[in-house]
Structure 1
Amino acid sequence: MNKILVILMSLILVSCNGQESKKPLTKNHKMNQQNLEYITFGGGCFWCVEGAFQYLKGVESVVSGYSGGHKNNPTYEEVCTGETGHAEVVQIGYDPKVISYEKLMDVFFFLHDPTQLNRQGNDIGTQYRSIIFYKDVAEKLKAEAALKTSESSGRWNGKYVTEFKKFEKFWPAEQYHQGYYEANPNQPYCSAVVGPKIAKFKKHYGELGMLKATAL
């Protein structure tokens, strides 16, 4: 019995920092970018966020990467030190005629705990902060309104600490991070953290109609 508990605890305590892909996703995608809009945000490990959003109907692309820092072309190892200032984020290309910005924000606040400062569970560091990048004042106002709506709903207990920052640059993460959960569902972190989060997401948002988007 003690051995079983130790194994379970080891799975629960894993973080995405230092985990490696044994099966990199190498496929490329082609899509019609006309009439698509883009949004970039971070809510903890990008494997979790990417893994869920790619199932939403109206979301045409989901790319994991880094934003909000001061170093050009940062690597995953550099971002993990917390010294580059970047956050792990996803950049989503979506069709606003199919899914709204507000609905994307609702999913965003559902997927992570926006009351946790610079962490999500056992993933600790500024790279895991809750952050939304906006392209202009109008989009910032929509993001702030979405936060207030979610915060007032009582979904999470506490004050939201999500950061708002003007979008400047998005750096795609290394190829093996793209579609990471899909390529590595049995990896310890994926099976213990990402998988259950995606299952919860699918159960809650089934009415949106799941249609797989394309990873980088």
Structure 2
Amino acid sequence: MLKPLLLSILLLSASACAEETQRALPMPQQDVPASDANQTAVFAGGCFWGMQGVFQHVRGVKFVTAGYSGGAASTARYNVVEWGNTGHAEAVRITYDPHQVSYGTLLRVFFSVMDPTELNRQGPDEGPQYRSEVFAADPAQARVASAYIAQLTATRVFSRPIATRVSSLSGFYPAEDYHQDYLIKHPDAPYIVVNDQPKIEKLRALYPAVYSARAITMARR
């Protein structure tokens, strides 16, 4: 059981992070055209447990993999990435049906459930491995993501500058098996209750048309 003082610190940190994103965001003015095949998106927004858990509840998403992006294949291991000097960020790769959910909608959810104004951290987690970053798979994704950040900045949706970066995807490396579906497997873990369950509730409350009560787990692939 989490000690009361530590639980209070986690709750305050989660509350502070949530202050920036309590309202629905506007849809991106640009979007990636739909193709006949499934598409992928790679986002980093803090601990991948919560990011995976959120997008597993988005309609049109086929599966979500927790992993590492931004560094080399040789350092894509949790016990190395956690030191914060590999270039990797904890990230998720989202495979989705573009005829059911668009890349722009995924971006909208992403910027709603984490705090894009925090630099090299999210909530209680600090270090560049917890940064927020959009890893664009192609120029179209990069253009749409950059335009959305500019749109949110111009409309002053957030009270502080957006720190989220947009970069080209150079590789994605799935995390160890014990990280996959972590939120689903450990829904009562104190970290999950304080930091990640509220993200899923925010998705449900802000975007009910996008929210799916049934999570798409890695086991159902």
Q: TM-score range, shorter-chain basis?
A: 0.7 to 0.9
| Corresponding letter in the other structure for 1:215 | M
2:60 touches 2:100 (CA, 8 Å); kept in 1?
A: yes
Q: What does residue 217 of structure 2 align with?
A: 214
Are 1:57 and 2:73 counterparts?
A: no
Q: What does residue 188 of structure 2 align with?
A: 186
Alpha-carbon distance in 1 for matches of 2:70, 2:149? 19
**Mind listing any 5+ residue stretches in structure 1 that lack a counterpart?**
16-33
1:109 touches 1:150 (CA, 8 Å); kept in 2?
A: no
SS in 1 for 2:209: helix
| Corresponding letter in the other structure for 2:192 | C
Alpha-carbon distance in 2 for matches of 1:36, 1:212? 18
1:13 touches 1:122 (CA, 8 Å); kept in 2?
A: no
Structure 1 position 150, deviation (Å): 3.0
SS in 2 for 1:97: coil
Q: What does residue 196 of structure 1 align with?
A: 198
Count of residues in Structure 1 that have an aligned counterpart in Structure 2 = 195
Alpha-carbon distance in 2 for matches of 1:203, 1:158? 24
Are 1:102 and 2:104 counterparts?
A: yes
Deviates more, 1:206-215 or 1:193-202: 206-215
Structure 1 position 209, deviation (Å): 4.3
Deviates more, 1:130-139 or 1:146-155: 146-155
| Corresponding letter in the other structure for 2:203 | F
TM-score by length of 2: 0.81
| Corresponding letter in the other structure for 1:145 | A
Q: What does residue 132 of structure 1 align with?
A: 134
Residue-by-residue CA offset, 1:128-152 (whole Å, 9 max, x unaligned) = 0110111222221111112223334
1:73 touches 1:171 (CA, 8 Å); kept in 2?
A: no
Alpha-carbon distance in 2 for matches of 1:96, 1:206? 18
SS in 2 for 1:114: coil
Report the CA distance shift for 1:9/1:70 in structure 2 as closer, same or farther (over 3 A): same
Residue-by-residue CA offset, 1:53-91 (whole Å, 9 max, x unaligned) = 101110001000000013525211111101211000000
2:120 touches 2:127 (CA, 8 Å); kept in 1?
A: yes
Report the CA distance shift for 1:8/1:82 in structure 2 as closer, same or farther (over 3 A): closer
Give percent identity, aligned residues only: 39
TM-score by length of 1: 0.83
2:60 touches 2:101 (CA, 8 Å); kept in 1?
A: yes
2:10 touches 2:124 (CA, 8 Å); kept in 1?
A: no
Structure 1 position 203, deviation (Å): 1.1
Report the CA distance shift for 1:13/1:58 in structure 2 as closer, same or farther (over 3 A): same
**Mind listing any 5+ residue stretches in structure 2 that lack a counterpart?**
15-35
Report the CA distance shift for 1:75/1:14 in structure 2 as closer, same or farther (over 3 A): farther
